[in-house]
Copies of this chain bind each other. A is one copy, B any other.
Amino acid sequence: MSLSQLLRDPETIRHWNGGEIAISSRIRLARNLAGHSFPDWAGETECAQVWERLRAVWPECPALKPYRMAAHDELTPLDRQVLVERHLASRELSRKGRGSGIVVREDLRVSVMVNEEDHLRIQILGLGLCLDDLWRKMEELDRQIEERVPMAYCGRLGYLTACPTNVGTGLRASVMLHLPGLALTNDLPGVLRAVAKLGLTARGFWGEGTEAVGHFYQISNQITLGETEHRLIASLESVVREVMEHERNARQRLLENRPALLYDHVGRAYGILSHAHLLTTHEAIALLSALRLGVVMGMVSSVDRAMLDAMLIAVQPAHIQMLSERALDAHERDEWRARLVREWLSPPRRRSPRKKKNG
């Protein structure tokens, strides 16, 4: 099974069941091979050499097994977009040429981008708030790779990276938080300002430079230099825990003081999702976010969180295209997305693999 086929397996979507407030955690390391120019300075030939050299390393890393690998030209544009939507690759990787590619562990929890901005971007994902666990796994994988290829490292600075913002540890740890309660109480801007003041960054649903659709925020460290990985991760985790506490309080306050507002927010989302015939990606995510709040708070019993989290992946444009198994224009995608959501939300007795169009 190729990586492309693996991504098309619906089971891989079903297994993405996040935590109540902390959906998922992620750690990535930026690494570069000693003796090679950074990808943007290296030509195609040198990038291809790096790719080949690393290709020999993967079978030697137990922490990666079993894995699927795909060089740049083995992925269709749709595959690449699907990888971005699963948070396994960056948009930047798609824009790179020959010599770039990706290695993905079969459970889709570990990926290594090759010749993106750095020679290696090693990433481990986990559900809920699990930074310590991820870091232990990352140390293991990083060690297994470094034992086989020497990395560009400077005693004074640490690991060298293409962009100075990653120099030192090369570490970015992030937690995806779901903050609809703080949004409803209008406390979100204040909390995000406080997060920024503590030297952390809050990014949108799809990472750097994207909107916070559905009140999903990725909180991550900005500093990579002058601190140990443990300290960076511990400080991120402590802020994340505080934000989670604020979110929990906001939800409780809503339930006590403005129940109608809360039930209305959740009820409308459920009503629209289960009856709309056209849904854009953004609207679908925003409504699934509201419904997720209701499900987590025990207000909606007919939907489970695992299904919602799978839907949050499946409604994205490349996934819709992939699941429909044919090329769709934007209007058709909106129609297909609405049908998919209606079917997933319809009671089991009425669920069928494909309803009659407009039936």
Contact = CB atoms under 8 A, between A and B. Distances in A.
B263 A267 contact: no
A275 B334 CA distance: 22
Interface residues of A, number: 21
A251 to B, nearest CB: 15
A317 B232 CA distance: 57
A148 interface: no
A264 B276 CA distance: 5
A268 interface: yes
A303 interface: no
Interface in A262-277: 263-264, 267-268, 270-277
B260 A270 contact: no
A207 to B, nearest CB: 31
Given A259-B358, A358-B259, A270 B275 contact: yes
B263 A358 contact: yes
A268 B271 CA distance: 7
A271 B263 contact: no
A225 interface: no
Please indicate which of the listed interface residues A259, A277, A278 has the most CB atoms of chain B within 10 Å of its own CB: A277
A229 interface: no
Contact of A277 (B260, B273, B278): B260
Contact of A275 (B271, B276, B335, B358): B271
A45 to B, nearest CB: 50
A157 interface: no
Contact of A276 (B259, B267, B331, B338): B267
B260 A335 contact: yes
Interface string A37-67: 0000000000000000000000000000000
A163 interface: no
Please indicate which of the listed interface residues A261, A268, A274 has the most CB atoms of chain B within 10 Å of its own CB: A268
A340 B272 CA distance: 19
A267 B261 contact: no
Contacts of A271: 268, 270-276
Contacts of A335: 260
Nearest to A261: B278
Those 10 A-B pairs whose CB atoms lie nearest each other, nearest first: A271-B275, A271-B271, A267-B275, A264-B277, A263-B277, A264-B278, A260-B335, A271-B272, A259-B358, A260-B277
Given A267-B277, A271-B276, 14 more contacts: A260-B334, A260-B358, A261-B278, A263-B277, A267-B275, A268-B271, A268-B272, A268-B275, A268-B276, A270-B271, A270-B275, A271-B271, A271-B275, A272-B272
30 contacts: A259-B358, A260-B277, A260-B278, A260-B331, A260-B334, A260-B335, A260-B338, A260-B358, A261-B277, A261-B278, A263-B277, A263-B358, A264-B277, A264-B278, A264-B338, A267-B275, A267-B276, A267-B277, A268-B271, A268-B272, A268-B275, A268-B276, A270-B271, A271-B271, A271-B272, A271-B273, A271-B274, A271-B275, A271-B276, A272-B272
